Structures are given as C-alpha cells and as structure tokens.
A and B are shown apart, each in its own frame.
Chain A
Amino acid sequence: MEKFLEINDLSVSFGVRGGLFLRKIGTIKAVNNACFSIDKGEIVGVVGESGCGKSTLARLILRLVEPDDGSVSFNGTDLLKMSKKEMRWQRRHMQMVFQDPYSAMDPLYTIYRSLCEPFQIQRIKLTKGEQRKKVDALLELVGLNSDHGFAYPHELSGGQKQRADIARALALNPQFVILDEPTAALDVSVQAQIIKLLEELRERLNLTFLFISHDLSLVSYFCDRVIVMYLGRIVENISADLIGKTPYHPYTKALIESIFKTDPGEKKLVAPLEGEVPSPFNLPSGCVFAARCNDAQKLCREKLPVLENTGNGGQVACHFPLIPLADPIG
C-alpha cells in the first residue's frame, strides 16, 4: 500500500550574502536528507530547538520553499514534479496553520473576508448565500459564532484568532494539515483549549496532522510519533509512547531531561547539555550533535551517522545509540 505522505532525502540550503556587494559568503543547510513518512490519520510531531529546520521542513512539504533535492509524494503523486498551477490546486488537500496568530491574518480584512479567501483563490464559485453558509459552518466548527466573522483580527483574543486561523485552514476540506507551533504564542489554559479542539477536529474530519513544536511534553502528549531534529537533520523518529521511557538518541534524552517537571517532589536541576546549538554555517563532517554530546567518540566526529531502523517502528541516526539496535541491518 502506498503511504499517505512520503518524504525522501529532502534537502534545501540557503545562500547567505554579506560583505561588499552582497557576495555569497556561505550556505546554510537548513534541511538535510530528511526521510520520513506519515500514515493516514496519524499525528506526527516535529521537535527541536530554534533554527533546527522544523518550519523549513513544513514549508518544503507544501513547496512554499523549493527543495534542492529529494521527493515528496502525497497519496502516490510526486509533488515536486507538479507545475505551479497544479501545485496550487493540490494545496486544497494540504493546508497549514501558522505560528503566530497575530500576524497570520490580514489586519485589514474581517475574519469573514479572510475565511472567504480560500474559495476565491481556488476559484470555487459560490453564491453570496452559499458563501455565508460555508463560513458560518466553519466558524461553528472551531467553536466561534457567526458574530466573530464581523470582527477584525485585533478585536479577537489570541485563542480566538488561532481558532479562526484553523477555520481558514479547514475551509477547503483538506486531508492533511501542517500545524506550525499553533500554540506557542498562547497561555497554557488557552493552549489546552486549542489542543482539545484539534483532537476533536481530527476525529470528526478524519485529518492527518504534522505538528511542529519546540515543546516536547506537548508533542509527546498530542502526537502518535515524534521526529526529533537537530541542525537540519532528523536524528530520531520514535513512537510517542516510547519517547519518555526509551529514547535511542542522546539528544532526545537530553531534551527530555531539560524539561522542568511540574512535580516539586522531583527536584532535578542538572543541565543535561553544555553549550548552545552551534551555527548552521559550515557543519562539521561527522555527527551534527557530536560537539555537545556527552558520549561522543572519535568515530562521531569523523563519520556522519545515517538513519537506521530501531526495530520497533522508529529510526535513529547515532553511532552509539543508548539502546543497542535490535536489527542493525534493518
């Protein structure tokens, strides 16, 4: 059976210009050989620290950024071979909810007008009455009412704006929605509301989500599978049930240990990692994580580890995984 979404060796690098006459002074490999797949109805999370390429990965899948290399196949069709026009038509199946609800909506448009835009862009002809009905149904779907349609974005709270943003993404009945840090700008109580809404929508509309976040606790709660990225590379792909118990990659473990637990009985104030994420300029030849890894050995600095199957549905890119791999050949 073909996969719902399959991504192979997806890479992109950006040229950095500077100096006199803005010469090209280097390249940043934002996403490097990303490989993973998503089944229908699955929620896959992507976590990593800022600058690790999470958002770029999302943009590559939707071809908002053109990849240098690799392939993205959605329901068996290769998206990268499509023309611009075909791709636009294709995007009605795949939508995105953006990071910052405060800037994702046009401030000069009412919510109603913003929600009509998807239909206009896809040239779906609707009468005024049909349009009204559709938008009201969308607003109701995300827990707003038709009065909110008359409001401008600045009149809504952050949570309401994010709901409107989700409504816009759902306007064309997509099968696949990419959520790029949908709750990062919100308070915890509102975050919980939005997460509950997403859980409900997924059940009701049979959606598949790619959920991008820097919050590992949230991702492990909401998602079925978690992809951990570091400096543009996928270092681990693991089932969400296992992530807290048996991570394979030292970076995943460090991320988990960095979380401040909401249990005052369990005070642990050891910082698991030294230093900061290095600059993505001129990446080292070996493992990208080697410079900060506590278990790094000579091999790690020389040879780049590739993603290998862990034997229980996951993959890890590490020469010395924390748990020996069940079947090293995969």
Chain B
Amino acid sequence: MTFLKVSDLEVEFCVDKKKITPIEQVSFEMKKGEVLGMVGETGSGKSLTAHAIMGLSSLVGGKIRGRVQFGDKDLLSLSEREMQSIRGSQIAFIPQNPMTSLDPVYRVGDQIVEGLYKHRKISKRAAKLKALEIMEKLQIPKANHVFQQYPHQLSGGLKQRIVIAIGLCTSPQLLIADEPTTALDVTVQAQIMRLFLKMTKDKGIGLLLITHDLGVIAQVSDKIAVMYAGNIVEFGPIKTVFNTPHHPYTKALLNCIPTIGMKKGTLDAIYGNVPTVGNYPPGCRYQPRCPDRFAPCGTIVPKMTKLAEDTRVACHKYNGSKD
C-alpha cells in the first residue's frame, strides 16, 4: 500500500486578477518510516508544498490540484471536516519558527496535550503523563516544571523541543517539519536534530523534512527532492544525488557550499537570481542560469525522466536516455 504519493500537485493563486502557480507538477512518493529531505532556495515552493499536502493552502485562497494519496485516501478530495480529523492526528506539522508558533498566553504543557484531547479519547491525567514522557525523551530538563511555564520563559532550543513534542505526541504516521532547526545555533541544532531523528525512527514515523540546509539533509535523509522555482528538478536516494548529481542546478548548488578545508577561490556561484513567482521564464525554469542549456531548453518544459529505480530528473539532457 502506498504511504504517501503526491502526483502533479499544483497550487494556483489569483493575484491582481492574474493567475499564478507557485508550484506545478510536483510529484514524489514516500515509503513508511522514510525520511525525505526537501531542499530548495527561498521562494522555491518547499513550504507551500507542505501546506498543500495538509490542505492548508485552500484556507488562504489557493486552489490545489493534483492528487495526494495518503494510505488509501486522496487527501485533496476529503471535506474540511474529514481533513481536520487527519491533521494533527495522522499527519502532524512542525512549523518553521518556534518563537511565533507557540501561543504566548497558554502554558506550554496545555499546548502539548491539546492535540491529544482533540484526537484521542484520553483522560487529563493520562494526557499529561504522555506529554511528560515525550518531553523527557526529548531531553527537556525538569519536564514537570517546564510543563507549567509560558513560552517566553523558555530558551529558543527548549521552545523548539516543545514544538517538536506537540508534533510527536499524537504519534502521527507522517510528520512534516518545515525548517525545524533553522532558528537555532549550531550546537543546539546538532542536539535537536539527533533526538528528533531518533524519535521518528523509533516510532516508524515518516518524516518530510523541509530545509535549505544541504548539510542537514545529507546527514539525516534517506531520499532527497530538490526544488527550483516551483518544480521538483531532481529526486532520488541521498547518496546518488549527492555523489552523482544529474541536474545542472543540483550540481551547481552543491558547489556553492563552502566546507572546512576547502581551497580559497574554489567556491562556485550560480549566475543570476532565482526567478520570482509569476515571472518564470519559458521552457525550463533554470534555463537562463544554466551553463549546459541547448536548443529545447528555452521552449519546452522538461518532464521528469526516470534514470533508475527511485531516481528522476527533469532536464532535457537526460530526455530519451532511459524512460
């Protein structure tokens, strides 16, 4: 049975009477318990993809098209009421900024158990015990004390742990984490990412990890989806994509990252800027910045081409090589 299969996902907004589609032709799949890293630059549509899967884009006026199959259900065909019973229960979401995603006027403990009350038949006492258990697993010191505190009394690292606890406490099957450690310092990021990964692996939770940090993806994911200007341009197992990237954008992106011990003057940059939504160039969206472009790139939109089992790339260079 499929765990999560997203096919031809598209979100359309209407801005100034003009229709724009920030994401188009987004297709990928995840197996149960797998960690899929989704990487891309600002505005490439990573967060919107996550929101569309959870059916949240429609709340802000977007039209979602395509198919999101989760288990035996098509999430996009469900009513808002049915969706609400899935959201937070079977699919949980960890938002980007822990500083603003916690409600400042509720104690953090109450915010953790809120999901449990809503989705599970559970007594107040049992819910608290369950929350404390998760807080302890996330190595929150003095969990009992923290449970009673307000968000402003906690440090950034602790707040992020609370947000993760909220996501994990209903034991969802799929967790979507949108830049969960971006706001944190490196030493704290290393701690939290490790704990987070261990807990999702132990419970067999599928994790869709959205980040712009290729280092985090390389260290924690099984598969990777590279997004550029609203499209997935490359999808594959983590080792394949990092060791032998196919798409020119993936190659260039990997060369942009400085590493310790790298020789001075060897850093590569990608010429130009990421096109903004609504101003996408014709044909391949990467084409104006691509050093390898040739005749069809400027006119024909490249389709996802299967290169091997689980490895796909959207680039004319590989069209017709294998299908």
Q: Which residues on A are within 8 Å of B, measured CB to CB?
A: 49-50, 157-160, 187-193, 195-196, 199, 214-218, 220-222, 243-245, 254-265, 267-274, 276-277
Contacts and interface: CB of A to CB of B under 8 A. Distances in A.
A243 B260 CA distance: 8
B42 A187 contact: yes
B214 interface: yes
B185 A192 contact: no
Given A187-B42, A276-B156, 11 more contacts: A49-B187, A187-B41, A189-B253, A196-B267, A196-B269, A215-B258, A244-B261, A255-B187, A262-B214, A271-B191, A272-B190
B267 A258 contact: no
Given A222-B258, A262-B257, A264-B239, A189 B190 contact: no
A63 B243 CA distance: 48
A258 to B, nearest CB: 4
Contacts of B41: 187-190
Contacts, number: 140
Nearest to A261: B215
Contact of B258 (A221, A243, A258, A273): A221
Given A192-B269, A195-B267, A263 B194 contact: no
Contact of A188 (B155, B189, B214): B214
Interface stretch (B170-178, B216-224, B300-308): B216-224
Given A189-B270, A193-B269, A272-B190, A261 B218 contact: yes
Given A221-B258, A262-B257, A216 B186 contact: yes
A257 B189 CA distance: 12
A260 B256 contact: no
A263 B242 contact: yes
A305 to B, nearest CB: 20
Contact of A221 (B213, B252, B253, B259): B259
A276 B188 CA distance: 6
B260 A187 contact: no
A192 B22 CA distance: 25
6 contacts: A160-B273, A190-B273, A199-B265, A217-B257, A265-B239, A269-B220
